[in-house]
Structure 1
Amino acid sequence: MSEFDLVVRSRRVVVPDGERALAVAVRDGRIAALADYDEPPPARETVDLGEVALLPGLVDTHVHVNEPGRTHWEGFASATRAAAAGGVTTIVDMPLNSLPPTTTVSALEIKKKAAEGQCHVDVGFWGGAIPTNLDDLEPLLAAGVFGVKCFLSPSGVDEFPALDPGRLIEAMRRLATLDGLLIVHAEDPATLTDPLGPTYPEFLDSRTQDAELRAVERVIDAAALTGCRAHIVHISAGSCVEPLRRAQQSGIRVTAETCPHYLTLSAEDVTSPAFKCCPPIRESTNRDTLWHGLATGTLMGIVSDHSPCPADLKGLTTHDYTSAWGGIASLQLGLPIIWTEALSRGYGLPDVAKWMSAAPAALIGLPTKGTITIGNDADLVAFNPTGQFTVNATKLHHKNPITPYDGHNLTGLVQTTWLRGQTLNDHAQGQFLFAPHQQS
């Protein structure tokens, strides 16, 4: 056997069936062999991590990059640099908050041109479904988006309006004929209310669990009617877990995700509008149900919903939760955030890798991402599971130094990230990824 390009050894390699002491051999950007830790094959470069864990690169399918148009909020260079520093080797960009939104193939091309040469990790794209673009859904899928996103309630930006119940059904009927995936921001507009004042409790009262539950039930019913694959983004309400479980058991094609902030923060923690997001961070008693949903597989995984903005839009000086932009910035921090909480709840690194790597990769149909398996891309993360640090927002690669985790003590340090066997650094090495249904 000729020598490999790279061998990374660890006594804690996280593979699909657990942790093993292995030597992971890389050739031409792919995992070419898994050998015994004590008998590594010859390679041009060998890295011995010892007790530092080796995880598959994280796959974050819910990132608002905002470029072009709102690049001062976040851009491809800053977002993907933050991703790489956090062990995320693949992101999928959301269609809204950029101008134009990704609701046509021409808008997708504009976004790709804006991202070209700036990506430090691999990048894919979601399309959007709005009332006026249902004829664009098939061309968007053919152009390689991984699915299309819609809102059932106002999105927060005028150029991305919500689908009413009739258009939701029509969009799902069209997507079902293509086996396309619809991802849904599920809050019921009829149940949402205007906040009675500027405080967080008043904001929370305006977006109840019932608003989320009713919208999730609407999507479940529509998926059952149309046969469309549907995915509920950022589940915050524990009350949604049981209806999702029942739907999945009955064969309805619906999945759901949650996010680090819903699993680790609580309404009682909120101290500033840096915590504001939609749906909102709920009471601490809600978190146990979300973790149970993950443990049982009803919630398939964890993604960031990284949605940053500049300080003047976040209301940090006024503390007005009504007018502040709703979005959490955490792209660089997701792995240690989740590991800190998972560790305290008795979960292991294989659980975290499943939720943050394998499941998101499977959702969008990327068979060569998400696991340390022979033939997969050599997207790897050296992660010290016992290292500790205090979050300093000004030291993160996010364009705007705002995060509710500022000052939090976290366990777990990302030491090195490899993309297709190459150590990630200041050189932008990322590639565009396209869905398997892309036409040649």
Structure 2
Amino acid sequence: MLDTLITGGTVVLGDDVRAADIGVKDGKIHMIAESIPSALAKNVLQADGAYVLPGMVDSHVHLSEPGRAEWEGFETGTKALAAGGTTTYVEMPLNALPATTNRDHLQLKLEAAKGKNYVDYAFYGGLTPSNLHEIEELADAGVLAFKCFLSTCGSDEPGDFQNVDDYTLFKGMELLASKGQLLCIHAENAEMTDGLTEEKIKAGALSAYNYVDSRPIVAEVEAVSRALHFARETGCRLHLVHISSAQAVDLIQAAKADGVDVTLESCPHYFALNADDLAEIGTLAKCQPPLRYANEQEALWDRLLHGEIDWLTSDHSPCTPDLKEGDLFSAWGGISGCQNNVDLMFDLAVKQRGLSLSSFAKLIATAPARRFGLTHKGEIALGKDADFVFVDPNQSYKLSTEDLYYKNPHSPYVGRTIDCRVTRTVLRGETVYTWAEGITSNARGEFQH
């Protein structure tokens, strides 16, 4: 007897998209067939003509707990992820206090997460100038990958995250290569962006376009190039996060063709918004790297549609409303967006630009699951976890503040009409969210390592 039968949907099965029924048993995909009798299942879920896709694997999320739970905690953040169709996420080692830079700090994170996650989760470890001697122990303690910053980050608060210098980057990559660990890098040249920022502020040049110009594409490209050189020398597995420019994509693809073990991600906000939107919306759309000019955005779209971007992440980086006050240089640089990864990009990429459903599923789920070794996640196939998102392409809605599950419900997408809707999210065979009812289960997310 099956626990659950999913019927009435169009299912995305790798490169095959077809009407099919899915049988779930013990949280796993047990059967896939053209038709499965409902009498074989204890529970029947009607997809009602929606597309059934693998639940999103969002490998770039900041939830800020412990230490800054007022920005976003596990409970509110994972409700938002569930409502957006994400079933697994990997949480960054910042902006929590203390940052996840050693085994003890990881244990604090694990304790804080218990019983609060509505979807499955994993954690990064951090690489900073102060923890080279703790990297190997942290790698053995259950983190899924490591993260470092080439741009300036952190604060003077004890335990906060810090960016690396070139010595730390090189030595850290040597250590991580010896452990077979993946290093994820925020790639912007710190001296360039810090100097240009200071120049703009001193001149009183504080507009949206001034902010974009203070973090130019060349700063991203130089940092990416440096990271790729170090990866060649050390053999470290490399992933470049939130890439915002076609030039950087081209550089990474060339390195990949040359044998470097490297992947890259980008984020919905770089495709949905550009510098003109930043000028209109203001600080809610501030991020790092910044939103790019319209012509540069179109070049990035070209790379996405030609399969040159490995996957999509939210880089959900929330904060309290007061931190978004002020001008574009002084306000917090992060976008709250994880609730709208799937529907926004389905609308923009699949409906408006003709990206195939198979390619979309790989971007949101299959590629990150494989890269991070989440072997039971990321695709609809026999034996995999029964993680699904239902997307109805025939619905349309205008996003409102009331729709958001975030601790601080603000987003640059509020007021935007999205021409599809996430109607159901299923985690290991159990519905955790429906559009009609909201969050429908308890916090049953499990730690993945």
Common fold by TM > 0.5: yes
- C-alpha displacement of 1:53: 1.2
- C-alpha displacement of 1:280: 0.2
What is the match of residue 308 of structure 1?
318
- C-alpha displacement of 1:256: 0.7
Q: How does 1:68-87 map to 2 (within 5 A)?
A: 68-87=66-85
Q: 1:322 aligns with which of 308, 314, 329?
A: 329
* SS of residue in 1 equivalent to 2:17: strand
What is the match of residue 187 of structure 2?
186
Q: Is the 8 A contact 2:9 2:46 kept in 1?
A: no
* Superposed CA offset, 1:395-430 (max 9, x none): 300111111101000022111111110111241110
Structure having the larger proportion of residues in helix = 2
Q: Is the 8 A contact 2:72 2:408 kept in 1?
A: yes
Q: How does 1:155-170 map to 2 (within 5 A)?
A: 155-158=153-156, 159-170=160-171
* Superposed CA offset, 1:83-138 (max 9, x none): 11111000111001101100001000001111111000001000000001012111
- C-alpha displacement of 1:171: 0.5
Q: Is the 8 A contact 1:52 1:383 kept in 2?
A: yes
- C-alpha displacement of 1:191: 1.8
* Superposed CA offset, 1:28-49 (max 9, x none): 0000010113756711112232
What is the match of residue 300 of structure 2?
290
- C-alpha displacement of 1:285: 1.3
Q: 1:213 aligns with which of 221, 225, 233?
A: 221
Question: Which 4+ residue blocks in structure 1 deviate beyond 6 angstroms?
Answer: none
Rounded Cα–Cα distance in structure 2 between residues aligned with 1:139 and 1:177: 13
What is the match of residue 436 of structure 2?
none
What is the match of residue 56 of structure 1?
54
- C-alpha displacement of 1:162: 1.1
* SS of residue in 2 equivalent to 1:399: coil
- C-alpha displacement of 1:291: 2.6
Q: Is the 8 A contact 1:340 1:410 kept in 2?
A: yes
What is the match of residue 340 of structure 1?
347
- C-alpha displacement of 1:326: 0.3
Gaps of 5+ in 1: 435-440
Rounded Cα–Cα distance in structure 1 between residues aligned with 2:289 and 2:356: 28
What is the match of residue 10 of structure 2?
12
RMSD: 1.3
Gaps of 5+ in 2: 433-439
What is the match of residue 438 of structure 1?
none
* SS of residue in 2 equivalent to 1:402: coil
Q: Is the 8 A contact 1:121 1:428 kept in 2?
A: yes
Q: Is the 8 A contact 2:240 2:263 kept in 1?
A: yes
Q: Is the 8 A contact 1:10 1:53 kept in 2?
A: no
- C-alpha displacement of 1:4: 0.6
Rounded Cα–Cα distance in structure 2 between residues aligned with 1:129 and 1:138: 11
What is the match of residue 403 of structure 2?
395
Matched, 1:266 2:266: no
What is the match of residue 437 of structure 1?
none
Rounded Cα–Cα distance in structure 2 between residues aligned with 1:85 and 1:49: 16
Corresponding pairs, count: 429
Q: Is the 8 A contact 1:191 1:210 kept in 2?
A: no
Percent of aligned pairs with the same amino acid: 41
Query: What code does the residue aligned with 2:167 have?
Result: G
Between 1:302-311 and 1:152-161, the stretch displaced more is 152-161
Between 1:406-415 and 1:283-292, the stretch displaced more is 283-292
- C-alpha displacement of 1:348: 2.9
Q: How does 1:103-252 map to 2 (within 5 A)?
A: 103-158=101-156, 159-192=160-193, 193-194=196-197, 195-196=200-201, 197-252=205-260
Q: Is the 8 A contact 1:16 1:371 kept in 2?
A: yes
